Structure 1
Amino acid sequence: MRLREWQLAFESFLLDDAATANLALGKSLIGGPTLDIDTGLAIYHNAYKARLQEVLRTDYPTIWHWMGDEEFDQLATAYIGQCPSAHYSLRWLGKGFADFLREHLVPEQGAPLAELAALEWAFTLAFDAPAGSPLTLETMAALAPDEWPGLQFRSTPSLQRLECQFNSLSLWRAVKEACDFPESMALAAPQVCLIWRNDLICHYRSLEAPEGSALNGLLDEGWSFAELCEASAVIYGEGAALQAVTWLKQWVQDGLLERLER
């Protein structure tokens, strides 16, 4: 058996739920005085699945805490069976977990769990994202007055934005801070949550509706600074420009924005 054939046979064995090795693979192996071939293969088979479950536990600690060992491992096994690891790095194993939860579970259970999975995955994405070139207050202060109206922005690579329908952030924070775990519940109104990395540390905060709408307009609809002021005037009237500057200063201080050059 050539090396490539052996590798494919071993891969097939690891991915086979029945853990049945083909005859050629079995014949290529040599047992020892304390470990026969079948037992050795079984150890590899079990260890592979256990490692994948461990990765999902690490990526989704809040869901693991919520569900407990047995139920989480059952769900993880079902996910791995439907979405087997297809990348050389286990970093991407949990990429589709939120969609899987939404489709695999009844809506009453799947919706809050899927949202929580999306939140936990957002922290992973934010932590691994490139640094980008975030604007600074010093850069903004150096702009000429005639540059401000047409200023446009894009998000830094690490910025993740989620609209939460449930108290997912409270659940995540409870596990992170090792305090009492609250019940999952729907929010009275959707809440925009920002997650980003700055100085190698992931940060997060939730936004009030006006600020969330303003940031969405800036990043999704391509508003210029002048258009941000115009949209803010609907709520803040004569104070719109001051409010827009206040928001922009906070977003720049947090390291959320890059300048979009046209």
Structure 2
Amino acid sequence: MRLIDWQLAFERHLLADTDASGFASTLIGGPTLDVDTGLAIYHHAYRARLLEVMQGDFPAVWHWLGDEEFAGLVAVYVQRYPSAHFSLRWLGQRFAGFIGEHLVAEQSAPLAELACLEWAFTLAFDASPGQPLSLHDMAQLAPEDWPVLQVEWVPAVQQVLCRFNSLEIWRGVKAQATFPGSQPLSLAQVCLIWRDQQVCRFRSLEPAEAYALAGMADGGWSFSELCAELAVTYQEGAPLQAVTWLKQWVEDGLLQRRAP
């Protein structure tokens, strides 16, 4: 048997519930540890490590489901989507989608949203820093550069559209407070998650601000186009509102200059 074939057989054994492949027959036991016991220890340790990683990445989902149900869900998940990267950092990348596939819609929708929110914090924390604009940078802009100013997200920014009180649940679990229970929101909210230095930050956006920010960071609006869009609602106050929001976005570290 080639080494790669043996390694793949070992992987199949670790992921399987039973040794149907007969992998144990390819090994020789030692004087103090027989093959079956050694494989059982390795099998349990591997699964326990995967569960530990998922508990760390999705503590609110874990808290919601409880130990037994969460462990069962993770066991099915790693069978469906085995770790395919050398780093377990990426183990949970398909967990939110899997919840939607595996559970009935009434249960999966709020739970998948919560998993998506938690995964967004992981992505934000690990993203590259980019080149966030500062207030000093903005102060150095020449007057003629303001109308054509275009920006985009720094790499760390993640967006989650929340239709349930997922952020309240996440905050409650993090603060070890009483579990609030899942409730639909009267109005869906965009939640931004990003990293400032080495700390993840978050906030929800009101619809008007979410629309304006998405127009600039996703839609490629220039500053003059932002003012024109806001004029529909804010009329002569549009430039002031645009400057106020832009200052907040820059202070938060959300934006960088868009490449020409």
Do these two structures clear the TM 0.5 threshold for a shared fold by scoring above it? yes
2:125 match: secondary structure: helix
- Taking the TM superposition and a 5 Å limit, the aligned residue runs for 1:219-230 are 219-230=217-228
* Alpha-carbon shift at residue 184 of structure 1 (Å): 0.4
Tell me: CA distance 1:49–1:137, structure 2 relative to 1, closer, same or farther (3 Å). Answer: same
Match of 1:28 in 2: 27
Q: Of 88, 98, 109, which residue of structure 2 is paired with 1:90?
A: 88
TM-score under structure 1 length normalisation: 0.95
* SS at 1:122 equivalent: helix
Residue 45 of structure 1 deviates from its aligned partner by 1.0
What does the per-residue CA deviation read over 1:210-258, in whole Å, with 9 as the maximum and x for residues that have no partner? 1011111112211111111111112211111101101000100111000
* Paired AA for residue 102 in structure 1: G
The change in CA–CA distance for 1:219 and 1:63 in structure 2 (over 3 A counts) is same
Unaligned runs of 5+ in 1: none
1:211 aligns with 2:209: yes
1:148 is matched with: 146
Q: CA deviation at 1:27?
A: 4.1
Distance in 2 of aligned mates of 1:97 and 1:114: 8
The 5 Å alignment of 1:1-262 reads: 1-20=1-20, 22=22, 25-33=24-32, 35-262=33-260
Secondary structure of residue in 2 paired with 1:247: helix
CA distance in 1, matches of 2:198, 2:13: 40
**Conservation of the 8 A alpha-carbon contact between 1:165 and 1:190:** yes
Give the drift of 1:162. 1.3
Deviations 1:112-136 (A, max 9, x none): 0111011000000000000110001
Structure 2 letter corresponding to 1:220: D
Range with bigger deviation, 92-101 or 228-237: 228-237
The one-character-per-residue Cα deviations of 1:66-96 (angstroms, maximum 9, x if unpaired) are 0000010111111111111111110000000
Aligned equivalents of 1:237 and 1:2: distance in 2? 73
- Whether the 8 Å CA contact 1:53–1:73 is kept in 2: the answer is yes
Deviations 1:159-192 (A, max 9, x none): 0111110000000000111111101000000111
Distance 1:207 1:2 in 2: 56
**TM-superposed deviation, 1:2:** 4.7
TM-align CA RMSD: 1.3
One-letter amino acid matched to 1:243: Q
Q: Structure 2: how far apart are the matches of 1:251 and 1:121? A: 23
Q: Deviations along 1:180-213, whole A, 9 cap, x unmatched?
A: 1101000000111110001111000111111011
Q: Report if aligned partners of 1:156, 1:257 keep a CA contact under 8 Å in 2.
A: yes
Identity of paired residues, percent? 59
Give the aligned residue type for 1:240: A
Supply the distance in 2 between the matched residues of 1:150 and 1:224 (Cα, whole angstroms).
5
Deviations 1:115-158, CA, capped at 9 Å, x for gaps: 10110000000000001100010011000001011111110000
Secondary structure at the aligned position of 2:181 is classed as coil
Q: Is the 8 A contact 1:19 1:45 kept in 2?
A: no
The TM-score normalised by the length of structure 2 is 0.96
